[in-house]
A and B are shown apart, each in its own frame.
Chain A
Amino acid sequence: MTSALETAANPQDMKRIVIEPLTRVEGHGKVTLLQGKNRNIRQARLHITEFRGFEKFIQGRPYWELPVLVQRLCGICPVSHHLAAAKATDMIVGARQLTPTAEKVRRLMHYGQTMQSHALHFFHLCSPDLLFGYDDEVRHRNIVGVIEDSPELAKQGVLLRKYGQEVIRVTAGKRIHGTGAIPGGVNKSLSKDEVHYLQDDIAQMIGWAQGAVDLLKKVFFEHFEYHLAFASIESSMMSLVQEDGAFELYHGGLRANDKAGNTIFDHVDYRKYNDYIRESVKDWSYMKFPFISSLGEEKGWYRVGPLARVNNCDYFSTPLAEAERKEFMAIGKGLPVQSTMGYHWARLIELLHCTEAIAELLCDSDIVGNDLRTKGEMQSHGTGVIEAPRGTLFHHYEIDDQGIVEKASLIVSTTNNNQAMNESIRKVANQYLDGHRLSEALLNQVEVAIRAYDPCLSCATHAIGKMPMELNLVDNNGALVDRLEKRVDGQIKRTL
């Protein structure tokens, strides 16, 4: 099934349909469709159309700037880049083991950010599709519609996100683009007042996060077969796990399982990621296509993020999330859950886990400790890998003897899902668009599939680029039959 609709023969004969800009996702995106005879979809591509060039322009900068500089890749999950770069610079300054205070303050920051990012994605961006339906009126199908119809739910979402942002502010100095992590540790711990301030509301947050999981389950089971099938594809999955297989976001070994749940590799030292993963370039997107090198480009693509993490881990360390994981895994009947809409469910289980993990850390006296930083012998390179809200994030840097960056390589979370998102929109094209005259509501289903992955197109455009979404309809002979183009100005044009 892979790539059956990737490239149409004779595209010049088809109708081109473009969905652009992708909305209610972070960053810029574009889908192009080619529609052939009888309105059959013959080509569907998700393009990244923006390029920024971080890998080049951070060359020549001192290594200690990296944690604050590269987080400007993304304003939605700056903490992920901040911490991945910090972990790489830990290696560079020879800090083999952080102090307990440094590691726990970083973890707290990371849980705060995963919490705010997941709350933002569900409540602000995706809940309108799930609550109102993909064909709801355009003017209503957004967070304002949620505020009007379900003000209490909207308020909970806003306050869950706010709490996560406040955890970041307390640990990193400010909510967006903070400065908490430094090579070898952190620049501050928490004051007792700050701990008490965060403790005041955490019980409420756990309750609301549990409520969000319950709501999602209700919605999911109301149309169970639809949610199982919509945009679903079978893929391998990759994530970090702890040594004993427990769910992990901050630090661990790499685990990849195939679509049946069998091990491809496990507990891999992430500093050797380059031996396991390669990235392919296609001329129609600025976003590269990573794959597991032992399986090759055709079969080696995989998924990352909440769905992969919840499937891959053996258990959650916190009780409420673990109970939810068991319920979630039950729908797979012994196999990994491949439902693309299952991403939403898995994401909210993680949200719940983060609130529980924050509550635990707030009772840990190490977070108010004073031993903030370690260092050792300088190294010429460093690699930092972390589970960002959207999936596994890789940073690798090489420096010269003056500490100046000579080489940088980044694989951002969303890039790992590039092939999977393309496969999912092709599935939607086959399931719902094939043979139809395309309407706004039908095209929104393409976006619903993409939104499930919570792509961060800002991150994904660290090269220089922008993510175009193009849906092309191509006939049996590969000829381009229809092409809807969603232009930057928002107009949808049939351009064939």
Chain B
Amino acid sequence: MNDIQMQESQTQEAQPRDKLIVATAALCGCFGCHMSLLDIDERILELVDLVEFDRTPLTDIKTVGKCDIGLIEGGVANVDNVEVLREFRNNCDVLVALGACAVNGGVPTMRNQFDIKECLEEAYIHGIGVENPQVPNDVEIPLLLDKVHPIHEVVRVDYFLPGCPPGADTIWLFLTEVIAGNAVNFPYSLIHYD
């Protein structure tokens, strides 16, 4: 076995500390919370003056470094999710459960009422029009957990922002208040849901 590590230069550089550093990750979710973050629209031009992005799906930084704020979308459904979540907790001063799936598991927990085997067989063996029916089992595919979990069942969480997804104004108010070092108080209009 050859265990040479490829050096990724960006993970080695010292980061400037004049801006807060923010990382984001999507676990078992739909990416809608990341889309809602982008729904701050032109305020993103202000946001990049306030924060620097570390690992997020929007950058090519693949490892999370030391961060001030970590935003987690999605619940925990497989062993990779567990690994990424723990990595974020270890590196982020403030960890935020962003949206329904991170907060309580969300729609993907609907599979918890079924045996995982039934779910896999429905898709890959009993599905309409399926050829070569088999359940994928390659070593490259991470093991599924038997149930989907909210992230606070795996790591300590500092803030919970509910909603499917949380609105852009809610996310914006939260980020600007935390960045300014203030307590976060939401008006009713930002925390009522459909």
List chain A positions with a Cβ less than 8 A from chain B.
15, 18, 20-21, 23-28, 30, 32, 45, 47, 49-53, 55-59, 69, 72-76, 78, 120, 124-125, 137-139, 141-144, 147-148, 151, 154-155, 158-159, 161-162, 165, 173-177, 179, 274, 277-286, 288, 297, 396, 407, 409, 438-440, 444, 447, 456, 458, 463-466, 468, 470, 484, 486, 488-496
Q: Provide the residues of chain B in CB contact with A139, threshold 8 Å.
A: 10, 13, 59, 61
B127: nearest chain-A partner, CB-CB: A409
Is B189 in contact with chain A by the CB < 8 A criterion?
A: no
Number of interface residues of B (CB under 8 A): 80
Q: Provide the residues of chain A in CB contact with B83, threshold 8 Å.
A: 488-489
A470: nearest chain-B partner, CB-CB: B140
23 contacts between A and B (CB under 8 A): A32-B140, A47-B138, A49-B140, A49-B142, A50-B77, A53-B111, A55-B127, A56-B111, A57-B111, A57-B114, A78-B32, A124-B58, A139-B10, A148-B48, A175-B36, A274-B128, A281-B136, A282-B132, A456-B31, A486-B62, A490-B61, A492-B6, A493-B6
Complex Cα–Cα for A220 and B153 (A): 49
Complex Cα–Cα for A457 and B4 (A): 30
- A-B residue pair count with CB separations less than 8 angstroms: 277
Complex Cα–Cα for A464 and B135 (A): 11
**Chain B 58-88 interface mask (CB, 8 Å, partner A; 1/0):** 1111111000000000000110100110010
Q: Provide the residues of chain B in CB contact with A175, threshold 8 Å.
A: 35-36, 39, 168
Q: Provide the residues of chain A in CB contact with B63, threshold 8 Å.
A: 489-491
A155 touching B3, Cβ below 8 Å:
no
A75 touching B33, Cβ below 8 Å:
yes
Complex Cα–Cα for A178 and B130 (A): 32
B114 touching A53, Cβ below 8 Å:
yes
Is B124 in contact with chain A by the CB < 8 A criterion?
A: yes
Q: Provide the residues of chain A in CB contact with B10, threshold 8 Å.
A: 137-139
Is B185 in contact with chain A by the CB < 8 A criterion?
A: no
A488: nearest chain-B partner, CB-CB: B80
Complex Cα–Cα for A51 and B145 (A): 11
B2 touching A396, Cβ below 8 Å:
no
Q: Given contacts A489-B64, A491-B62, are A284 and B140 in contact (CB under 8 A)?
A: yes
Q: Provide the residues of chain B in CB contact with A151, threshold 8 Å.
A: 45
B3 touching A282, Cβ below 8 Å:
no
B42 touching A57, Cβ below 8 Å:
no
Per a CB cutoff under 8 Å, which of B5, B137, B138 touches A493?
B5
A464 touching B116, Cβ below 8 Å:
yes
B3 touching A495, Cβ below 8 Å:
yes
B41 touching A158, Cβ below 8 Å:
yes
B10: nearest chain-A partner, CB-CB: A138
Q: Provide the residues of chain A in CB contact with B108, threshold 8 Å.
A: 52-53
Complex Cα–Cα for A138 and B56 (A): 12
Complex Cα–Cα for A75 and B101 (A): 12
Specify which of B9, B64, B124, B136 lies most central, judged by the most chain A CB atoms within 10 Å of its CB. B136
A179: nearest chain-B partner, CB-CB: B194
B124: nearest chain-A partner, CB-CB: A281
B164 touching A284, Cβ below 8 Å:
no
Q: Chain B nearest CB: distance from A230 CB in Å?
A: 18
Complex Cα–Cα for A56 and B32 (A): 22
A145: nearest chain-B partner, CB-CB: B59
Per a CB cutoff under 8 Å, which of A56, A439, A440, A490 touches B119?
A56
B58 touching A278, Cβ below 8 Å:
no
B25: nearest chain-A partner, CB-CB: A21
B13: nearest chain-A partner, CB-CB: A139
Q: Provide the residues of chain B in CB contact with A141, threshold 8 Å.
A: 59-60
Is B187 in contact with chain A by the CB < 8 A criterion?
A: no
A49 touching B123, Cβ below 8 Å:
no
Complex Cα–Cα for A138 and B12 (A): 12
Complex Cα–Cα for A465 and B3 (A): 28
